[in-house]
A and B are shown apart, each in its own frame.
Chain A
Amino acid sequence: MSFPKLRIAGLHKSFGTGARRTEVLRDINLDLADNEFVSLVGTSGCGKSTLLSIVAGLQDFDAGDLAIDGAPILKPGLDRGVVFQSYTLLPWLTAQQNIEFALKAAGHDRSTCRRIALEHLDLVKLPHSANLYPSELSGGMKQRVAIARALSYRPKMLLMDEPFGALDALTRHQMQELLTQIWEEHRLTVLFVTHDVEEAVYLSDRIAVMGIGPGRIMRTFNVDIERPRREEVMESAAFMDLQRNVHKAIREASRRPEMA
Chain B
Amino acid sequence: MVAEMPDEPAIKASPSGPATGPVAKQATRRRRSSGIGAPIARSRFLMIAVAVFACLGLAWWVATGLELVKPIFLPSPASVATQLGKLWADGTLLLDLKASIYRISIGFLIASALAIPIGVLIGSFRAWEAAIEPLVDFIRYMPVVAFVPLSILWSGTSDAQKFLIIFIGTFFQQVLMIMDNVKRVPADFVGLGRTLGLPDRKILTRIVVPSALPGIWDTLRISLGWAWTWLVLAELVAATSGLGYRITVSQRYFQTNTIIGYILLLGVLGLITDQVMKALGKVLFRQEGHAQ
Residue positions of A touching B, CB distance < 8 A: 56-58, 75-78, 80-82, 84, 86, 88, 90-92, 94, 101-102, 105-106, 116, 119-120, 122-123, 125-129, 133, 135-138, 140-141, 151-154, 168, 170-171, 174, 177-178, 181-182, 185-188
Contact = CB atoms under 8 A, between A and B. Distances in A.
Contact of A133 (B8, B20, B195, B287): B287
Contacts of A133: 287-288
A105 B196 contact: yes
B196 A92 contact: no
A168 B119 CA distance: 38
B197 interface: yes
Nearest to B24: A138
A76 B195 contact: yes
B20 A185 contact: no
Interface in B206-257: 206-207, 210-211, 213
Contacts of B186: 86, 88
Given A56-B195, A88-B186, A170-B19, A119 B11 contact: no
A151 B2 CA distance: 8
A177 B11 contact: yes
20 contacts: A75-B194, A77-B195, A82-B192, A86-B186, A88-B188, A88-B189, A94-B287, A105-B198, A106-B196, A125-B11, A137-B22, A138-B20, A138-B21, A138-B23, A168-B19, A174-B12, A174-B19, A174-B20, A182-B2, A186-B5
Contacts of B5: 123, 185-186
B189 A171 contact: no
Contacts of B202: 105
Nearest to A136: B22
Interface in B1-25: 1-3, 5, 7-8, 10-15, 17-23
A185 B4 CA distance: 11
Contacts of A135: 287-289
B207 A170 contact: no
A102 B15 contact: no
A125 B195 CA distance: 25
Given A92-B285, A106-B197, A185-B5, 6 more contacts: A77-B195, A78-B195, A127-B15, A135-B289, A177-B13, A178-B13
A105 B197 contact: yes
B267 interface: no
B20 A140 contact: yes
B289 A76 contact: no
A207 B17 CA distance: 31
Contact of A141 (B15, B18, B191): B15
Contacts of A178: 11, 13
B3 A119 contact: yes
The 4 closest A-B pairs by CB, nearest first: A135-B289, A171-B19, A105-B196, A133-B287
B284 to A, nearest CB: 10
Contact of B192 (A88, A126, A128, A168): A88
Contacts, number: 121
A91 B289 contact: yes
Nearest to B284: A92
Contacts of A56: 191, 195
A137 B210 CA distance: 20
Contact of A170 (B18, B23, B211): B18
A46 to B, nearest CB: 21
A17 to B, nearest CB: 17
Contacts of B2: 120, 123, 151, 154, 182, 186, 188
B19 A140 contact: yes
A57 B191 CA distance: 10
Contact of B288 (A80, A91, A129, A185): A91
Nearest to A53: B191
**Which residue among B13, B14, B285 has the maximum number of chain A CB atoms within 10 Å of its CB?**
B13
A90 B210 contact: yes
Nearest to A94: B287
A102 B193 CA distance: 9
B6 to A, nearest CB: 10
B15 A57 contact: no
B7 A122 contact: yes
A105 B192 CA distance: 11
A121 B179 CA distance: 36
**Which residue among B21, B22, B194, B195 has the maximum number of chain A CB atoms within 10 Å of its CB?**
B195
A91 B18 contact: no
Contacts of B21: 138
Contacts of A123: 2-3, 5
Contacts of B210: 90, 92
B15 A128 contact: yes
B168 to A, nearest CB: 33
Nearest to A59: B191
Nearest to A181: B11
A57 B195 contact: yes
Nearest to A137: B22
